[in-house]
Amino acid sequence: MLCLGSARLVFDFPAVSVWLRRPRSSSRSSRVAYSSSIATPTRWSPRREFSITAHLRSDFFEYTSGRWIFNDDLRHAERRRVFRVDELNRLVAEAVNRSPGDIVRLQKLAEGGFNRAFLITMLCGFRMMARIPYPVTIPKYFAVASEVATMALLRSFGLPIPKVYGYSPTPNNAAGTEYIFMEFVQGTKLSDIWFDLGEGEIISISRQLAELESKMMSIAFPAGGSLYYTEDLENAAGSASWPTRPGITLEDMRFCVYGMAGDHSSTKIEDHVGRFLPFPR
């Protein structure tokens, strides 16, 4: 979707970094930041911060990263998400065993294609992320539940993935919105230093990336589909709008796979999404 925006309003989504080791022979520092995932090669403009005290709270709810050539009002309406800020702060604090009074700043950090990201800073300097899906992100329950389960599974296999502190795949909570609370990891984007690297460094980093990909590809699954916590799929089962069958569990019984090729749920999702689109598909 084509979007026009001022450079000052384009947000830098926090890259989940991974520690990429440089060859020991390098004259630069021995490590390139990458703590939890590999940053994309996209260059973004400096962040624009939104604190609770300095800006209207409505900025938290609206899409402010740009405009669309066509259907601008509709595209913004699809991304408007109102929630209870004070209650979200309370849920954030509870997720990491803190008091709401420990939160000193809540900033809107980034707006992507499907989620709005907030950076929470506490008195001791501890920082974490809150991600809230747009109304246009459908189906939210399964999107949030699957993303959380996928991150947890990869993390359990030793991959550098941010830790999830808490989540809700439904808006039936005090904040009134779906959310994911997760670890904030600050690092250097590989794209920012790539052209300054020497041949040996590029080979070393590429080898590490291949090792990470190999580790991911070595994980065995009993079927094709999306990954969920078994409990989340059980909670969705029997819903009038999302009838589901039990998923196929992994060796780790906490996880299961659901939504295989040919499953009726894919048609159900398309039917549900179609009701929100202003054109046939």
The pLDDT of 70-93, averaged and rounded, is 92
Instruction: State pLDDT tens for residues 33-64.
Output: 333 333 333 334 444 444 444 445 678 998 88
- DSSP notation for 1-41: --EE--GGG--------EEEEPPTT-SS-SEEEEESSPPPS
| Banded pLDDT at 9 (limits 50, 70, 90) | very low
Please tell me whether residues 258 and 135 are part of one structural domain: no
What confidence score (pLDDT) does residue 242 get? 63
Residue numbers of the domain that contains 243: 221-281
For 121, other C-beta atoms within 10 Å of its C-beta total 17
Rounded CA gap, 213 and 151, in Å?
15
Tokens 């998923």 map to which residue?
A: 247
Please tell me whether residues 256 and 194 are part of one structural domain: no
Assess contact for 149 and 232: CB atoms under 8 A: yes
The secondary structure of residue 79, as a DSSP letter, is T
Assess contact for 167 and 179: CB atoms under 8 A: yes
Dump strand ranges (E) for the chain.
3-4, 18-21, 31-35, 67-68, 103-111, 115-122, 127-133, 164-168, 179-183, 226-229, 248-249, 255-258
Query: How many structural domains compose the chain?
Result: 2
Where a domain ends, among 178, 200, 219?
219
Assess contact for 3 and 67: CB atoms under 8 A: yes
Please tell me whether residues 207 and 264 are part of one structural domain: no
> What residues pair up with 248 in beta bridges, in sequence order?
257
Tokens matching residue 79? 């991304």
Rounded CA gap, 6 and 26, in Å?
39
Tokens 């390098």 map to which residue?
A: 26
Please tell me whether residues 210 and 235 are part of one structural domain: no
Q: Phi and psi of 199, rounded to 5°?
A: -60, -40
Please tell me whether residues 202 and 96 are part of one structural domain: yes
Please tell me whether residues 155 and 103 are part of one structural domain: yes
Please tell me whether residues 32 and 115 are part of one structural domain: yes
User: How, if at all, do strands 67-68 and 3-4 pair?
Assistant: antiparallel
Instruction: State pLDDT tens for residues 241-263.
Output: 565 677 888 999 999 998 743 34
pTM: 0.71
Q: Phi and psi of 119, rounded to 5°?
A: -105, 125
Rounded CA gap, 105 and 120, in Å?
6
Please tell me whether residues 232 and 214 are part of one structural domain: no
Where a domain ends, among 197, 219, 241?
219
Please tell me whether residues 36 and 82 are part of one structural domain: yes
> What type of residue sits at position 127?
R
Instruction: State pLDDT tens for residues 139-173.
Output: 888 899 999 999 999 999 999 999 999 999 999 99
CATH label of the domain that carries residue 174: 3.30.200.20
Rounded CA gap, 200 and 105, in Å?
42
Please tell me whether residues 70 and 171 are part of one structural domain: yes
In whole angstroms, how large is the CA radius of gyration of the chain? 20
Please tell me whether residues 11 and 70 are part of one structural domain: yes
- Percent of the chain past pLDDT 70, that is, above it, reads 69
Please tell me whether residues 48 and 67 are part of one structural domain: yes
Where a domain ends, among 219, 238, 272?
219
